[in-house]
């Protein structure tokens, strides 16, 4: 009786260990800072950042842009927290007036167009690291697209944007990003006011049609003055005595 009981206990312990192992390591190898597409239930692209004391860019994952299906570009942002090591490094870069950089890949901001051909490379933007620190990681990231929804530019600004030398506590102010994300498409330039011009021309034509007097020429308007002036010149010429030549009498 004791042998089967011991065997059952051992078997139960083995099964529990296997199940516990599956639960703990079910992250599929995801480390802190890694971004997985399936994690967000849609297509996502990495948002990376770099801040180095020697100003040599070494990008690593900051978060992910989650692209949602639809005709209009719709993007959500998920971000990681800064580690203690990153917070210390960011303050070091800010102390030497270094740069804080971000980059995103060139993609369509539409989840249903990701099978189309993509251009290689990244789009990069930067701000002063001291502005990033003093803003307490509050920034505005704008994604600029063309008419087809293709990503052609990225920009970043901090709130506030100036560096004033304000002291910042690592644990309180440099842990969580406070980011506003916006997608900006092309803005149509104002076209020529052709319709307004044609409307004004029609109004002028109608106005002249209602007033035929304005259509007359200069001679038609002032013929009597011209005729009177001509008669006056003729009469004046006739009234003058003829010019006589001198004669000598011998």
Question: Tens of pLDDT along 241-250?
Answer: 555 544 444 4
Q: In terms of domains, do 202 and 93 share one?
A: no
194-241: pLDDT as tens digits: 777 778 778 887 776 666 555 566 667 677 777 777 887 877 776 665
Of 69-83, 91-105, 199-213, minimum mean pLDDT range: 199-213
Residues 6+ apart with CB under 8 A from 100: 49, 50, 51, 90, 93, 126, 127, 128, 129, 131, 132
pLDDT at 117: 52
Cis? peptide before 11, omega within 30° of 0:
no
170-204: pLDDT as tens digits: 767 899 999 999 999 887 766 666 777 778 778 88
Average pLDDT over residues 127-154: 93
Distance CA 143, CA 152 (A): 8
- Asked if residue 137 belongs to a domain, the reply is yes
- Asked if residue 3 belongs to a domain, the reply is no
Q: Can you give the residue range of the structural domain that contains 137?
A: 43-184
pLDDT at 12: 47
Q: In terms of domains, do 217 and 167 share one?
A: no
- Asked if residue 167 belongs to a domain, the reply is yes
- 128: pLDDT strictly greater than 70: yes
- Asked if residue 52 belongs to a domain, the reply is yes
CB 161 within 8 Å of CB 131: yes
CB 73 within 8 Å of CB 142: no
Q: In terms of domains, do 54 and 167 share one?
A: yes
CB 188 within 8 Å of CB 80: no
Q: How many domains does the chain have?
A: 2
- Looking at the DSSP bridge assignments, the partners of residue 178 are 138
23-71: pLDDT as tens digits: 333 333 333 334 344 344 457 899 999 999 998 999 999 999 998 766 6
């Amino acid at each position: 009786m004791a042998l089967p009981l011991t065997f059952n206990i051992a078997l139960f312990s083995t099964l529990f260990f296997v199940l516990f192992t599956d639960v703990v390591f079910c992250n599929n190898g995801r480390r802190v800072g890694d971004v997985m597409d399936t994690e967000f239930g849609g297509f996502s692209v990495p948002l990376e950042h770099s801040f180095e004391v020697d100003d040599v860019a070494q990008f690593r994952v900051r978060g992910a842009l989650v692209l949602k299906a639809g005709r209009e570009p719709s993007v959500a942002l998920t971000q990681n927290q800064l580690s203690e090591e990153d917070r210390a490094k960011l303050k070091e870069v800010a102390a030497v007036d270094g740069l804080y950089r971000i980059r995103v890949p060139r993609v369509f901001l539409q989840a249903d167009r990701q099978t189309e051909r993509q251009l290689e490379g990244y789009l990069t933007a930067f701000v002063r690291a001291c502005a990033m620190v003093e803003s307490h990681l509050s920034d505005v990231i704008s994604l600029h697209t063309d008419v087809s929804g293709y990503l052609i530019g990225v920009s970043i600004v901090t709130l506030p944007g100036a560096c004033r030398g304000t002291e910042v506590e690592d644990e309180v102010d440099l842990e969580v990003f406070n980011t506003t994300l916006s997608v900006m498409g092309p803005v149509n330039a104002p076209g020529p006011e052709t319709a307004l011009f044609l409307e004004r021309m029609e109004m002028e034509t109608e106005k002249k049609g209602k007033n035929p007097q304005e259509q007359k020429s200069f001679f038609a308007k002032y013929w009597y003055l011209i005729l009177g002036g001509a008669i006056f010149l003729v009469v004046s010429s006739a009234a003058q005595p003829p010019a006589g030549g001198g004669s000598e009498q011998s």
